[in-house]
Amino acid sequence: MKMSQKYLPGVPSNTLQWLIVNNRSFRFSRTLLLIWTCVIVSFLPAKAQNKPADYHIKTIANTPVKSIRGLSVVTDDVIWASGTGGQVGKSTDGGTHWQWTKVSGCDSCDWRSLYAFDAHKAIVLNAGAPAHIFLTEDGGTTWQRVFFDATPGIFFDALNFFNEQEGIAIGDPLQNKFIIIRTHDGGKSWQQDAPASLPDAAQGEAIFAASGTSLVTLPGNKVYFATGGTVSHLFTSGNNWNAYTVPVVQGTSTTGIFSIAFLNAKQGIAVGGDYKQDTARHGNCMLTNNGGRTWYPPVTAPGGYKSGVAYITPQLLITTGTSGTDISVNGGKSWNKIGDGFNVVVRARKGTRVFLAGKDIAVLSTR
């Protein structure tokens, strides 16, 4: 069989010449076909392999909730969501069907942060005073209050867990100290860190409770949380707290970091901007490869204010906000809009699917 350029578009001519010389007795064996496939794919242009246009957002469920900001995806099938009106929802079939309930006595609570362990156990945290944390262990049928704080000015922003027993929640500063509480028994009881160990806050610095994703936990009790307002910092903790300045747009009560994600202890991303100018791109996204010590901007920033971000793979990332949903296929270096905006985006902890929530529930799909 004569081989020529027209049968293999994209393969350099010198590669073809080598193949012709060394395969004059070419026959269609399975092994040789496999080799040919590998050669052809390796020379295909990158844009022909993984493109932003391959992805789109598909709404899969309407909800009775005015605004959803808490989202926890345990597996590709088990999803929990929470929001205004004291409402919490659960799906066990990948988001096709939902059960919505109101936590008793908390009709006015805005559940901004949520962590689900499985289809039976979940914990919700509200924004504002007084502060409540409620726990269910029967799939949302009944809820038990496990934490309450009526201190004037108390305002919690996010909670997360390291494992089945160890968890942490963060709150806006009181007396210039960020509030940190922890659980060591799976959320059944919570204790505040000693005042002397709490991280310092600058005047006008706070945490945004836009999606419950301003806090990240990693193995080894590694904690990251991000701030905004007059200044924007990434706080990191192992045994002690360290604060690193992040060069996002900042300086007012509506600017700063609204969401962070870390692939590992080194590689991470921070997104945000100004929610009152939600089409502005400047300073809305920063990347780090040294655990937050230094940051650099993407070549092409996402389109406007973002309140949620997630790693899907090391190269594939997604971010969302009122300005729309954007995707990156090159590790966050450039972004393209793929759909309407939501408040929060989360990838399944034990799976591959990616869900978004705002007023409705959506999923990231491929064309």
292 and 181 co-located in one domain: yes
Residues 109 and 129: their CA atoms lie apart, in Å, by: 9
64 and 96 co-located in one domain: yes
Please tell me the predicted confidence (pLDDT) of residue 133: 98
Please tell me the predicted confidence (pLDDT) of residue 240: 86
**Structure tokens given for 156:** 């919690």
Domain holding 186: CATH number? Answer: 2.130.10.10
Residues 127 and 35: their CA atoms lie apart, in Å, by: 58
User: What mean pLDDT do residues 205-218 have?
Assistant: 97
33 and 175 co-located in one domain: no
25 and 140 co-located in one domain: no
Binned at pLDDT 50, 70 and 90, residue 24 comes out as: very low
Q: Which positions ≥6 away from 14 have C-beta within 8 Å?
A: none
Please tell me the predicted confidence (pLDDT) of residue 8: 31
Give tens-digit pLDDT for 236-279: 997 789 999 999 999 999 999 999 999 999 999 999 999 999 99
Residues 316 and 54: their CA atoms lie apart, in Å, by: 12
**For helices 13-22 and 30-43, what crossing angle results, to 10°?**
170
* Count of domains observed in the chain: 2
Yes or no: say if 72 and 116 are a contact pair by the CB < 8 Å rule: yes
What is the number of residues in the chain?
A: 367
Yes or no: say if 356 and 306 are a contact pair by the CB < 8 Å rule: no
69 and 190 co-located in one domain: yes
Please tell me the predicted confidence (pLDDT) of residue 51: 86
Please tell me the predicted confidence (pLDDT) of residue 324: 98
251 and 271 co-located in one domain: yes
57 and 36 co-located in one domain: no
Concatenate the DSSP letters of all residues of 53-93 into one string. GGEEEEEEE--S-S-EEEEEE-BSS-EEEEEGGGEEEEESS
pTM assigned to the model: 0.86
110 and 240 co-located in one domain: yes
157 and 20 co-located in one domain: no
11 and 40 co-located in one domain: yes
* Neighbour order of strands in the sheet with 344-347: 55-61, 361-366, 354-357, 344-347
Give tens-digit pLDDT for 38-90: 433 333 333 334 688 899 999 999 999 999 999 999 999 999 999 999 999 99
Which range of residues forms the domain containing residue 133? Answer: 53-366
Please tell me the predicted confidence (pLDDT) of residue 306: 98
Residues 186 and 189: their CA atoms lie apart, in Å, by: 8
User: What mean pLDDT do residues 165-181 have?
Assistant: 97
SS3 346: strand
pLDDT at 108 over 90: yes
Please tell me the predicted confidence (pLDDT) of residue 140: 97
25 and 135 co-located in one domain: no
21 and 100 co-located in one domain: no
